[in-house]
């Protein structure tokens, strides 16, 4: 497999979705891994583009069928990454971008760690996260409260990541993310160094 995986995690409201969208536009051979979820669709989201929105029963059947590279329960809903499309895109040499939470990152790393670079994106303070969630206006106060609580526990696991980005300025953070994404393609563990060395030493 010639491709690589870029896992992006961070609290809801950290700005990671907008950063990811821009990254996907600027890196032509990138592919966004569309997760499945049981949460309800938000205004502006499109089924099959942002997520595959499926029922709890469908999700549980997919778990039993071994469909997922990883799955987790986040904010009372299931979220999961399908394995098959990721393997296909890796074989085609793509940069596969996955938006997954801290639980999913741990599992995916155990299974495909050699192909993976991970980035944790957050805000400078918890206060700025709350302001962003309030401003987004997509969630009720109760859901925002849940997301803030979840953010506190996610923050305690940021050390498990290769990189951390404090998103206090969109353009600056995007630049850093693009640098990480491009450098991730040259990771030593992606290379079959045995084969490369034998070709490299062949002087004919
Ligand atoms: P949201 O509901 O705001 O779109 O996402 C909530 C959380 O679920 C985010 O932290 C996001 O990273 C995470 N998430 C999205 N897709 C997946 C997935 O496929 N697997 C896991 N483990 N988490 C996911």
| Structure confidence at residue 203 (pLDDT) | 85
Interaxial angle between packed helices 16-26 and 170-184, expressed in degrees from 0 to 180 and rounded to the nearest 10: 50
Take atom 22 of ligand 1 and give the residue whose Cα is closest: 104
CA of 41 to the centre of ligand 1 (A): 13
Q: How far apart are alpha carbons 70 and 95 in whole angstroms? A: 18
Mean pLDDT, the chain, integer: 94
What would the pLDDT profile of 47-86 be if each residue is shown by its tens digit?
Answer: 999 999 999 999 999 999 999 999 999 888 999 999 999 9
The residue among 65, 34, 28, 33 whose CA lies nearest residue 47 is 34
| Structure confidence at residue 204 (pLDDT) | 78
Residues with C-beta less than 6 Å from any ligand 1 atom: 9, 12, 35, 39, 70, 72, 74, 79-81, 99-101, 103-104
Quick one: which atom of ligand 1 is closest to the CA of 11?
10
Contact between residue 46 and residue 34 where contact means Cβ atoms under 8 Å apart:
no
What would the pLDDT profile of 73-129 be if each residue is shown by its tens digit?
Answer: 988 899 999 999 999 999 999 999 999 999 999 999 999 999 999 999 999 999 999
| Structure confidence at residue 63 (pLDDT) | 97
Burial class (CB within 10 angstroms; exposed 0-12, middle 13-18, buried 19+) of 123:
buried
What would the pLDDT profile of 77-86 be if each residue is shown by its tens digit?
Answer: 999 999 999 9
Per-residue pLDDT at 140 exceeds 90: no
Instruction: Show me where the domains of the chain are located.
Output: 4-33+94-200
Q: Nearest 5 degrees, angle CA 127-CA 164-CA 126?
A: 10
Per-residue pLDDT at 8 exceeds 90: yes
Give me the mean pLDDT over the 138-143 stretch: 85
CA of 35 to the centre of ligand 1 (A): 8
The CATH number, out of the four listed (3.40.50.300, 3.30.1330.10, 3.20.20.70, 3.40.50.150), of the domain defined by the range 4-33+94-200 = 3.40.50.300
CA of 99 to the centre of ligand 1 (A): 6
| Structure confidence at residue 120 (pLDDT) | 98
Take atom 24 of ligand 1 and give the residue whose Cα is closest: 100
Take atom 23 of ligand 1 and give the residue whose Cα is closest: 100
Give me the mean pLDDT over the 192-200 stretch: 90
| Structure confidence at residue 1 (pLDDT) | 60
Contact between residue 38 and residue 59 where contact means Cβ atoms under 8 Å apart:
yes
Upper half-sphere CA count for residue 29 (Cβ side, 13 Å): 13
Contact between residue 158 and residue 122 where contact means Cβ atoms under 8 Å apart:
yes
> Model confidence at 30, in pLDDT bands (50, 70, 90)?
very high
């Amino acid at each position: 497999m010639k491709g690589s995986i870029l896992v992006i995690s961070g609290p809801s409201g950290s700005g990671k979705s907008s950063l990811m969208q821009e990254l996907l536009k600027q890196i032509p051979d990138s592919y966004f891994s569309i997760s499945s979820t049981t949460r309800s669709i938000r205004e502006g989201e499109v089924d099959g583009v942002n997520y595959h929105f499926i029922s709890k029963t469908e999700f549980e059947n997919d778990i039993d069928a071994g469909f997922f590279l990883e799955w987790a329960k986040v904010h009372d809903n299931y979220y999961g990454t399908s394995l098959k499309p990721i393997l296909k895109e890796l074989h085609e040499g793509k940069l596969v971008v996955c938006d997954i939470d801290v639980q999913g990152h741990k599992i995916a790393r155990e299974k495909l760690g050699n192909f993976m670079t991970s980035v944790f994106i957050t805000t400078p303070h918890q206060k700025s996260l709350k302001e962003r969630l309030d401003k987004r206006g997509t969630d009720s106060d109760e859901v925002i409260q849940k997301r803030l609580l979840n953010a506190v526990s996610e923050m305690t696991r940021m050390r498990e990541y290769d990189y951390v980005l404090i998103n206090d300025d969109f353009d600056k953070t995007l630049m850093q993310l693009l640098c990480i994404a491009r450098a991730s393609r040259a990771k030593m563990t992606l290379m079959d160094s045995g084969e490369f060395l034998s070709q490299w030493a062949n002087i004919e």
